[in-house]
Amino acid sequence: MLTYSKRTDPFTGEEYLEVPFKGQFLTEHPMYNKGTAFPDEERHSLDLCGLLPDGVSTLSLQKQRTYESFAAKSSDLEKYIYMLSLQDRNETLYYALLQDHLEEMLPIVYTPTVGKACQQFSHLYRRRRGLYITSRNIAHIDSILNNAPFANVSLIVVTDGERILGLGDLGSNGMGIPIGKISLYVAAAGLHPAFCLPIQIDVGTNNEELLKDPLYIGLRQKRLSGQAYDDIIERFVCGVRRRFPNALLQWEDFGKGNAFRLLETYQERICSFNDDIQGTGSVAMAVLLSAMKIKKQKLSEQRFMMFGQGQAGVGIARQIITGLVKEGLSYREACGRVYGVDKDGLLLEGMTVSEEQKPLLKSREEIAVWKVSRANQITLLEAIRNSKATVLFGVTGQAGAFNDEVIAAMADNTPLPLIMPLSNPTAKAECTPETIARVTNGNYLTATGSPFKPVMVNGRERAVSQCNNLYIFPGVGLGALISGSPRVTDRMFMAASEALSNLVTAEELNSGKLLPHISNIRYVSSQVALAVAREARESGLGARGDDEKLLQMILNAMWEPKYLPLRYHKPDFSF
């Protein structure tokens, strides 16, 4: 196992990288390869003579060349494949290009294109990246983790492939998600790619189409569950704690039945979080805080309707409850302000629900005075009308679920309803901003899960903010790592929400934006990281430096993709 080492020459003060290879091996390692940008002196000192064309390029010229190739691709999937091949060839160039064209390339390297790529991952597979842990090799977990490209891993993104985006069980094809997520950590928060490790836990798949596909690269068996599944996860976590004791672990795209349970089981044992649950809740809370500035009201003056009770819905509800408690409500009072509706209607006492849904159960006494057609199955529209909800979230993937009648009911409850159709892709959004604007006569606030163009309202263009987890998880990860906190807490996510909302300018609020522009994501991530590190400090979990010192630590840790001089150093493979 190699150690990625940046050194400073004690005589010249020059920063350089120690490289363990020379010649062809050096050009084939994506973390060290410079391609045509190797200068003449390195071509001689590192045995590269004759392996490269004579012309020496700058990073700027390489970006120009690669962007030209990227733009020439005729489909988003072809662009994804091109970017993945570039990443496998030269990570510095990949991230330099991605950082320059982040807004354009985000939909390519992650959602929605990564979903299509995952569906075809076995057919697109070209080169290994990350680690694959299966029920067949889990007994060798220590040896597997020792196969990580570098010894100094600080971030692990892991999936079991059971709930990949809105596509369901993709088994080992889900590896595209941890790979893509790490690209966002690097691009948005400057985590160094050498310190990031994608992992696929392959326990089989219940996707018959994949099991019948002769090109499927994963374990050909039905998905494990119960104790057999839990044993694999336990051995995995214990292995990570032994090999990378200071690493942050992010759970990604686990099925609902496991996601909450694993989060609860391990969040006190290893520094970890689930972005689908906590990240989604945190960015939604930031939108709420921005909306309160426009409404000039408090969270505690609102009533919240959650349509959809999966990971995202419960995650948002939990974060709202945390925010309400911070404003002074008791936990029970806070739960009373949040209403949950799923396929069986409003969540009521006596219903069979999961453990994480129980805080939202409403008493039969409370709804006894409601005007409903069926007391045991209260519809979304009835719940909105009777609860007087002022904020509506949609996380169901049911296109058109927020019809004119639902939106009008929200407008009847408050002069300025906040309506958030958060499902993605666009085709699954509960409604469109245009529909909200039309039904409310322009008196509304909104943020969406998918990107939408601005809406014309009374002759004026109104922006639509995308409620993207990218605003939260990179900064939370960076802040947790910088602080050295042994865990990631709900209060850290609340601090992240507040920091994000505070970055929205008055001008942006006036234009309808409830989140800052994505082009400022590196600055956003640094401020979110600072808020998380500050909360860690104040709760006694993290570094005790003042804000100025913490911010400097954060900025120093944020990697910029650029070429450093390379010097050969014979590697020490002991560990």
Active site residues: 110, 181
Instruction: Quickly list H helices, 154-275.
Output: 176-189, 208-212, 226-243, 256-266
What amino acid occupies position 479?
G
Closest CA relative to residue 444, chosen from 432, 452, 453: 432
Between helices 473-483 and 521-538, what is the axis angle to 10°? Answer: 40
Cis peptide before 245 (omega within 30 of 0): no
Q: How many helices and strands in the chain, by DSSP H and E?
A: 25, 17
User: What is the 8-class DSSP label of residue 224?
Assistant: P
Beta-carbon contacts of residue 301 (< 8 Å; ≥ 6 apart): 390
Q: Which of 194, 180, 195, 192 is nearest to 84 (CA)?
A: 180
Work out the angle at residue 81's Cα, subtended by the Cα atoms of residues 80 and 82, and round it to the nearest 5 degrees. 90
In this structure, which amino acid lies at residue 14?
E
> Tokens standing for 19?
């490289």
The sign of the dihedral angle between the CA atoms of 80, 82, 88, 93 is: negative
Of the candidates 478, 518, 535, the residue with the CA atom closest to the CA atom of residue 189: 478
> How many Å apart are CA 393 and CA 492, to the nearest integer?
23
Q: Please give the C-alpha separations between residue 303 and each of 298, 319, 337, 443, in angstroms, as whole numbers.
A: 11, 14, 5, 18
Evaluate the omega torsion of the peptide bond into residue 571 and state whether it is cis, within 30 degrees of 0.
Answer: no
> Strand 5-8's sheet: what is its strand order?
5-8, 15-19, 566-568
DSSP code per residue over 357-384: GGGGPBPHHHHTTS--S-TTS--HHHHH
Percent of the chain as helix, strand, coil, to the nearest 5: 50, 10, 40
DSSP 536: H
